[in-house]
Chain A
Amino acid sequence: MELIWKGIKHSCWLLLTGDAEVIGITLFSLQVSGAATGLSLVLGIPLGILLAMKRFPGRSLAVSLINTGMGLPPVVVGLFVTIFLWRSGPLGYMELLYTPAAMIIAQVVIAFPIVAGLTMAAFQSLNPNFRLQLLGIGASTPQLLWLLCKEARLPLLAAIMAGFGGVISEVGASMMVGGNIRGQTRVLTTATVLETSKGNFEIAIALGLILLVLTFAVNLLLTQIQQREQIRWPKPS
């Protein structure tokens, strides 16, 4: 218990004193995971909408792949991204391995199926006649998509939360493709692993707590937005 208590105290101390390295790692983690979540939204939302609204050959296979991708082990993602970016790999010429870009790529591979799968579920939960009704009062295709996204905003926020939660907390892929290089590719999760392996439990707990607080804060913000519009179920009479 004393170890945990010391860790909490140390994390408070690190934050209050504005430890440059910890703040740097925290901001870098937010940048990498924020960028990966943003890219996953750009790719995953249109794909989710497409899979929910269109029927085309190969759709079932695509849905199965997305559903499988929602549970991809980060270590496996890390392995394949590393192979692709390895000097002799297909994308080796880009020299991205052990850079923040490689970490973003790996995190996109993890978050993108989560966002696409949850977006698909969100759109499938809408009344299919909504589309016809909106077109029937003169909506153009972009207006239609925007209105449907607005209508599905609560589950879409859940998709963003799940995507961000998935990447900010993963360690395997970031470690493998980023290399945990101090000042360059070290994020909260990889730093926690490193400090734990060195036996620096106080710092490891401090980093872990910061990660928890960070994840909690982002999710709290999104939950506030989501729950503000939640339907209130009537009490049974």
Chain B
Amino acid sequence: MAEAVLNLQGIRVRYDESTVLEIDSLAVNTGEVLAVIGPNGAGKSTLLRLMALLQQPTLGKIYFHDREVIPTDSLAIRRRMASVFQEPLLLNASVYENAALGLKLRGMNRHTIEQRLRPWLKRLGIEHLASRKARTLSGGEAQRTSLVRALALDPEILFLDEPFSPLDPSTREALLLDLERILRETGITTVFVTHDRDEAFMFGHRIAVLIGGKLLQTGPTTEVFAHPENLEVAHFVGFDTKISGIVESASDELAQVHFNGGCAQVVGKFQAGEQLFLCLRPEDITLSLPGAEDPKSISCSRLQGKVLKVTPWGAHYRVALACGENRLVASITRPSFLELKIAEGDEIVASFNASAVHVIKRR
């Protein structure tokens, strides 16, 4: 098992009387990218500030390479870390001076700074901007400068707090790809905080889902995205549809689940009478007009309902449906949308495969 660079134990952060963060245990292992995801106000930035030793917890201990961090060691340890925030926060100076700041704070001489900085300026494509005033930079260029400032420090752990949020889509994509490559090539241990699950999926070796100040699930990225342990995590990682049902019959690998407005087959070992939530991603739900369903599809995993709302969603359309008491969200391509000619109030049939259903047992 990889050694933990950072380890949080029994952390509590309280403001006035309310607890905003409760982390019993969380480790960041050497060489991994830990993506911390959660909605706005979940406590992600507070968690990052604790990890980066920029804030003290009300309770709990933080270990850096298995050694408890005490206030007198804080500066020395902080100098083995680096942070990049949502805003680039550059000084009113040149790009080079800004990028060199962390190295300068560590008392390095000009020659060493030049040697450390140049490769990173080149790698992030801002070498030609070195003498430009930071205030004249675009958002993407400023964030690249901020990244150079952090990466040039050769940190043992890098903290990224939603660094791409304020950027326009094309700038964001270019920077995402560059950073993903850098992290892959260098293997820098990284904590990446984001509310964007796509970014988390792209970067994270492991994911920690933080909702309401509590870590609801931590695990390998694919595991968390495919098998969320509870409804909140499921919803956050993209299972927009939740159907509450009860197991009618079960065999070794398949179970038939009955719910208000229909039934569905799900994969897994269950017992008759068990209460379950069936969770579905929008892209796993297929829509068809009544009477035009694919005859090969399993008739059981089909629900007829009414279109509540159609929303253009990038290259797709999101269709909200009411099927009995259940609310479903499907995502269809533009050609499918044009072919089905869906409008609000239309009758529609939603179907899905048993293998697409993620089941959460009701407690």
- A contact residues vs B (CB 8 Å cutoff): 127, 129-130, 132-133, 135-140, 143, 147, 150-151, 229, 231
Contacts and interface: CB of A to CB of B under 8 A. Distances in A.
Interface string B31-70: 0000000000000000001001010000000000000000
A138 B89 contact: no
Given A132-B49, A143-B105, A231-B135, A137 B83 contact: yes
A136 B91 contact: no
A136 B78 CA distance: 7
Contact of A132 (B54, B92, B106): B54
A138 B153 contact: yes
B85 interface: yes
B135 A135 contact: no
A135 B56 CA distance: 13
A87 B170 CA distance: 76
A129 B45 CA distance: 12
A136 to B, nearest CB: 3
B54 A137 contact: no
B361 interface: no
Contact of B82 (A129, A136, A150): A136
Contact of A127 (B83, B89, B149): B89
Nearest to A136: B83
Contacts of B83: 132-133, 136-137
B85 A133 contact: yes
Contacts, number: 52
Contacts of A150: 91
Main secondary structure of the interface of A (DSSP, over half): helix
* Interface size class, chain B: 20 to 34
A127 B87 contact: yes
Main secondary structure of the interface of B (DSSP, over half): mixed
Contacts of B82: 136-138
Contact of B78 (A138, A151, A229): A138
A138 B87 contact: no
Of all A-B residue pairs in the complex, the 5 with the closest CB atoms, nearest first, are A136-B83, A137-B102, A138-B79, A133-B89, A138-B105
B105 A151 contact: no
A127 B75 CA distance: 22
A151 B149 contact: no
A136 B49 CA distance: 9
Contact of A137 (B87, B135, B150): B150
B101 interface: yes
B137 to A, nearest CB: 14
Contacts of A130: 89
Given A133-B83, A135-B78, 5 more contacts: A136-B52, A136-B78, A137-B82, A138-B81, A138-B106
A135 to B, nearest CB: 5
B92 A137 contact: no
A139 B54 CA distance: 11
B49 A137 contact: no
Contacts of B101: 137, 147
16 contacts: A127-B89, A129-B85, A129-B89, A132-B83, A132-B85, A133-B89, A136-B54, A136-B159, A137-B82, A137-B102, A138-B75, A139-B105, A140-B105, A147-B101, A151-B91, A231-B135
